[in-house]
Each structure stands twice: as C-alpha cells, then as structure tokens.
Chain A
Amino acid sequence: MSGEAGRDVLSRSSTPALPRIGCDLQRIDHVDRAVADFGARYLDRVYTDAEQRDCRVGGAPSLAARFAAKEAVLKLLGTADGVDPREVEVTGGGGRPRVRLHGRAAWIARRTGTGPIDVSLSHDATTAFAVAVALTRHHDHDENDEHDDRHHQGEEHR
C-alpha cells in the first residue's frame, strides 16, 4: 500500500480524521543483552534486513530506537496481537525515519483508516524513545476484532 493509497484511505471516508499518537521507551542494555544472548536469531526475528543495515553503525542504541518505534506504531494502531515485529519497518539511517507496514500491520492500518505514519526517534546513554503520529478515521478500534489472513497477506502500507 503506497503513501498515496494511504492518503486515499483518509480522503474516501466520511468520518472525520483525528490525530492518534503512540510512544514507547526501550532500555538499550536489554537490547544489547538480547543481541549477546541470541545473536542473529534475535536480529532476524525482530528487524528487517534494511533495519539491520541501518543500525550496523549505531548498534544497540539504534536497534533500541527502532524497537521503540515499532511499539509506538503498534500502540497507535491499537493492537500488537498477531503482528510480527518485522511487519512494522522503520528505516532511515541518518535522515528522517520512514515507516513501512507489511502483512497484518498494513491490514490493521487499512482497516482503521490510518494514514501515513510519521515517527521520531531519540536516545540517551541508557534509553531509547520513539513517538508515532498519524491521522485515523477509526476512533474506537476493537482490539478483539477477528482478522483474516487472506485479507492482509502481501499488503504494504507506508
């Protein structure tokens, strides 16, 4: 699902678009420990190839900021259930980070009429922080909504 398509979701609906935000903190030492304990298994289960490339120089603080951003986006969407962490992809090594949604995450964004998502990342020596913001038409997303894999496989949302 392209950025233009994401904006189309908002423009087609008669429900007013309202801003929604999500935020998250992540301890950097916990990410460092996960890399030490599980290595590539941890990295490959949580981060896409592009994210791992972007964090090659920044290391654990960059990975922690990416993880915080994923969680911030999931809070914005209203649920993390059944979402693979790699389905919320946050790329951009030095410039403005970019969010791309895949699979169930993209399906939730489409279903909730959530437009393009912007994120901002930060960290100090111990903690990473991220905030995500977007406009959404679906103001009371039900976290228990059933989902159907047939409807979201292969979808992409930016």
Chain B
Amino acid sequence: MSTETTTTQARIRDVLRLHAHLTKDVDALDSSDDLYAAGMTSHASVTVMLACEDEWDVEFPQRMLTRTTFSSVDAIAAALAELGATS
C-alpha cells in the first residue's frame, strides 16, 4: 500500500470518526468493511460526503450519490480518486 493511499485512508477514517456516527470503532474496521453494517445511516452518509468535500475541496456529482460510493473506506477512497482528490 503506498504512502498516499495510507494517508488518504487515515483522513477518511478521521472524517468517519467525526461524522459517520458508527456503532463500531472505525479503527477496528478493515478498509473494505461495510460502513452501513457498522451503523452508518443514509443521513450520516450525507454528512460524510459534505465533510469529504470540505477536506479535499471536491464536489460529489449527482451520479455518485449512491449507496456504493460511501459503503467502505476503500469505496470512498476510490470516489475521491475519481474526483481527482490528492492525499
């Protein structure tokens, strides 16, 4: 795993810690674990999206407003990469 990937995933975990209202410790989750299964609600996924937009200065387009986009740390990292966000 590259340093850039590690940094991005750490920042995503920071965002999740503040905004996802998970019922499990975010650091105990694998990057591929389902965040909805870990307690994230649809409303929390909206606030996670807004926090990611602030953190990386990007905007999620409507086509990316899907359950899959915010389903895991890996999925969020992939979405941010697609939006051109850097670590």
Contact = CB atoms under 8 A, between A and B. Distances in A.
B19 A67 contact: no
Interface of A: 24, 26-27, 30-31, 33-34, 37-38, 41-42, 45-46, 67, 71, 80-85, 104
Contacts, number: 52
A83 B42 CA distance: 12
B46 interface: yes
Instruction: Please report whether the interface of chain B is mostly helix, strand, loop or mixed according to DSSP.
Output: helix
Instruction: Please report whether the interface of chain A is mostly helix, strand, loop or mixed according to DSSP.
Output: helix
B65 A84 contact: yes
Interface of B: 19, 21, 41-44, 46-47, 50-51, 54, 62-63, 65-68
18 contacts: A24-B42, A26-B43, A27-B21, A27-B43, A30-B41, A30-B44, A30-B47, A34-B46, A34-B50, A37-B50, A37-B51, A38-B47, A67-B43, A80-B67, A81-B66, A81-B67, A82-B62, A82-B63
A27 B23 CA distance: 14
